[in-house]
Copies of this chain bind each other. A is one copy, B any other.
Amino acid sequence: MQKKTRNTTAKQEILKLIANAGQALSHVEIQQQLNNLCDRVTIYRVLNRLVEEQKIHKIVNTDGVVNYAACHDCEHHHHNDNHVHFSCTICKSVTCLDNIIPTFQLPADYLMQEMNFMIAGICPNCKA
């Protein structure tokens, strides 16, 4: 029997933040913007729940820091982070390049469950 999940204030606010962000947010950024709405442990737990419920994506940066982004195409397509993520080494922003989907051929004897395509470099804003 599956555990029922609740629509709490913390969850609503965190999801709203991520959905309106335009770029992926780290735990620290979310905590700062929440302005003491809830404990930092709660943020961790809410983020994990949202990932499980497939409402947000978890993106691991090239330095190991985790960021979270809203799901855009997951209504239509399968929930899978199959596009490229870009991490700017100057302004530190992490964004989803939703349209850039790499093609590759995984050997048949491998089973794919999850993918994380991360590119670090300089974003258009900082390059200009």
Q: Tell me if A100 and B89 are in contact (CB < 8 A).
A: no
Q: Which of A9-17, A29-37, A62-70 contacts B (4 or more CB under 8 A)?
A: A62-70
Instruction: Provide the bound-state CA to CA distance between A118 and B112, in Å.
Output: 10
Set B84, B105, B116, B120: member contacting A104, Cβ < 8 A = B84
Q: Which residues of B contact A97 (CB under 8 A)?
A: 106-107
Set B62, B86, B111: member contacting A60, Cβ < 8 A = B62
Q: Is A76 an interface residue (CB 8 A)?
A: no
Q: Tell me if A112 and B102 are in contact (CB < 8 A).
A: no
Q: Tell me if B118 and A116 are in contact (CB < 8 A).
A: yes
Set B106, B117, B123: member contacting A100, Cβ < 8 A = B106
Asked, given contacts A102-B103, A121-B113, whether A65 binds B62 with beta carbons under 8 Å apart, the answer is: no
Q: Tell me if A61 and B62 are in contact (CB < 8 A).
A: no
- Cross-chain pairs A/B with CB under 8 angstroms, 10 sampled: A60-B63, A62-B114, A62-B116, A64-B65, A84-B106, A86-B110, A102-B102, A112-B121, A113-B120, A113-B121
